[in-house]
Chains A and B, each alone.
Chain A
Amino acid sequence: MISPTSFAYVADLLRRETAMLCEPGKEYLVEARLLPLARAAGTPDVDSYVARLSTDLAERARAVDALTINETSWFRDLAPYQAFTDAMLPPLLESRKHVKHLEIWSAACSSGQEAYSLTMLLKEHLPPGWTARIHATDVSTTMLERVKAGRYSQVEMNRGMPAQRLVTWFTRVGNEWEVSPELRSMVTTQHLNLAAPFPPMPVFDIVFLRNVLIYFDMDTKRDILRRVSTRISPDGFLLLGSSETTLDLDDAWTREAAGRVWMHRPRTAARPTLATRPPAAPAAATTVAPPAFTALSQTGA
């Protein structure tokens, strides 16, 4: 098993490069993730592999990639995507009718399933003459390469991709499925570490920031949410992962329920009220909840 010194080195490396926490107790996981790399690099065990990381930059990048959790799937959790088409698109189609364009940010995009899922919904729901762009960003350059390639294994396609959309938008290339050029042209990629100052970016109408805040400590989460709030338009929407919440973090946000998810919105004085509300939304659309309130569990099924 990995030595305490090596483990501490790896945890520190991960924290510096991605802000992700790797707490004691995760030794087994680190060992399991690094062992294949150690073998491939021809080092006898994980400790001697870790020793090599202090001088070998390319290997260090590989190690960080291997330790990052990239778990994702198509239309992950379904409800956020339902909210996207039912609750977010209608008001935006109204308020953006003069520009006929939507800017969407898939922050921490992993291999791109979130971004491409959104392009499919946009293709199905945008009126003629409208355009949209999904800006997909991640700290891992390996993941960004995957988004650009737009190729997915059979096992990845099985994870939540409806069969009808698969046959409409993908072609078989060898053992993989490749997303159509039409959808790929809607997605741009950029390397972005959420824990560091953001590079210049446009202001977004919708931000998906899902299943990444859970890996950070409270201060980092606060800081990220504060900076995200400056990149989101006053009538825009932010979606978090199903176990993530802005509640105990920041009063710069308000929440509206859409079915089984909360849509977070920047708290600004003047925002036109929504014309369309999802049927399942509770009476109080904007909630300032007491700290003990647990998010999400009380909506829907």
Chain B
Amino acid sequence: MHALIIDDSRTMRSILRRIVTELGFETTEAGNGQEALDHLESGLTPDICLIDWNMPLMDGYTFVTRVRADERWRNVTLMMVTTESEHGQIVRALAAGAHEYVIKPFTPDAIIEKMELLGLVAQEVPA
């Protein structure tokens, strides 16, 4: 499994990387939407993109619309991870094609539970 982590903050990318690596994902990082699109164009096929909203060059919302407009990436799961937390913004992101939404700040559990919800990680089997 592979996760593409898109955030202009190196700190946030490292926080997210630690969480998904624990879940067994390999990761690629991008500092904005354009860089992330370049990764996809050059053949990277992540299972999920974790996407910040506010970034220089290309924001996360634009990235989502661009990915959804292209058949090649229709199997990629898109999850916003952003401080944008108005009701209307979440509605917009979902309408543009995001599958899930995590509001910053979050705890690691929140990311893990959303990945379970998306069927990307098997739930812990109780002993």
In the complex, A touching B (Cβ < 8 A): yes
Query: Interface-forming stretch among A91-99, A122-130, A161-169, A200-208?
Result: A161-169
B82-124 interface with A by 8 A CB criterion: 85-87, 90-91, 93-94, 98-103, 105-107, 109-110, 113-114, 116-117, 122-123
Among the stretches A73-81, A219-227, A249-257, A282-290, the one at the interface with B is: A73-81
Q: Is the CB of A154 within 8 A of B100?
A: no
A158 within 8 A of B: yes
Interface residues on A, range: 20 to 34
| In the complex with contacts A167-B91, A172-B86, A297-B125, A155-B107 CB distance below 8 A | yes
Interfacial chain A residues near B90, Cβ < 8 Å: 163, 166-167
Q: With the chains together, A166 CA to B90 CA distance in Å?
A: 9
A-side interface mostly: loop
A77 to B117, CA, bound (A): 10
CA distance A77 to B122 in the complex (A): 11
A297, B122: Cβ atoms closer than 8 Å: no
Interface 0/1 of A279-301, CB less than 8 Å to B: 00000000000000010110011
Q: Tell me whether A159 and B109 are in contact in the complex, defined as CB-CB below 8 angstroms, given that A154-B103, A167-B90 are known contacts.
A: yes
Known: A78-B116, A154-B105, A158-B106. A260 touches B123 (CB 8 A): yes
In angstroms, Cα B80 to Cα A166, docked, is 14
Contact residues, A66-106 vs B (CB, 8 A):
73, 75, 77-79
Q: How many A-B residue pairs have CB under 8 A?
A: 66
B105 partner residues in chain A, CB cutoff 8 A:
154-155
How distant is the Cα of A294 from the Cα of B90 in the complex, in angstroms? 42
A167-B94 in contact given A160-B113, A162-B100 (Cβ < 8 Å): yes
A5 at the interface (CB under 8 A from B): no
Interface flag for B127 (CB, 8 Å): yes
Chain A residues with Cβ under 8 A from B102's Cβ?
158
Pair B126/A296 contact, Cβ less than 8 Å: yes
Cβ–Cβ < 8 Å partners of A166 in chain B: 90, 101
B86: chain A residues within 8 A (beta carbon):
172
CA distance in complex: A44, B90 (Å): 46
* Given A79-B123, A301-B122; A155-B106 close (CB under 8 Å): yes
Cα distance A40–B33 when bound, in Å? 46
Which residues does chain A contribute within 8 Å of B122, judged by CB atoms? 301
What is the chain A residue whose CB lies nearest that of B110?
A158
A264 to chain B, nearest CB (A): 15
A243 engages B117 (CB within 8 Å): no
Contact pick for B125, options A159, A160, A301, CB 8 Å: A301
Contacting residues of chain A (151-195) with chain B, CB-CB under 8 angstroms: 154-155, 157-160, 162-164, 166-167, 170-172
Bound Cα distance A297, B127 (Å):
6
The chain A residue with its CB closest to the CB of B92 is: A167
Neighbouring B residues of A162 by C-beta, 8 Å: 100, 117
Complex Cα spacing A136 to B98, Å: 33
Question: Which residue of B is nearest A245, CB measured?
Answer: B126
Cα distance, A157 to B102, chains bound together (Å): 9
Q: Is the CB of B113 within 8 A of A73?
A: yes
A117 within 8 A of B: no
User: Is A158 a contact partner of B107 (Cβ separation < 8 A)?
Assistant: yes
> With A77-B123, A260-B123 known to touch, is A164 a contact of B94 (CB < 8 Å)?
yes
Other than the given A160-B110, A172-B85, A297-B127, 13 more pairs (CB < 8 A) read A78-B116, A155-B105, A155-B110, A157-B103, A158-B106, A163-B93, A163-B100, A167-B91, A171-B87, A172-B86, A260-B123, A300-B125, A301-B125
User: 27 A-B residue contacts at CB 8 Å?
Assistant: A73-B113, A78-B116, A78-B123, A154-B103, A154-B105, A155-B106, A157-B103, A158-B102, A158-B110, A159-B109, A159-B113, A160-B117, A163-B100, A166-B101, A167-B87, A167-B90, A167-B91, A167-B94, A171-B87, A172-B85, A172-B87, A260-B125, A296-B125, A296-B126, A297-B126, A301-B123, A301-B125
Pairs A-B, 7 closest by C-beta atoms: A158-B110, A163-B101, A242-B126, A160-B113, A158-B106, A301-B122, A167-B91
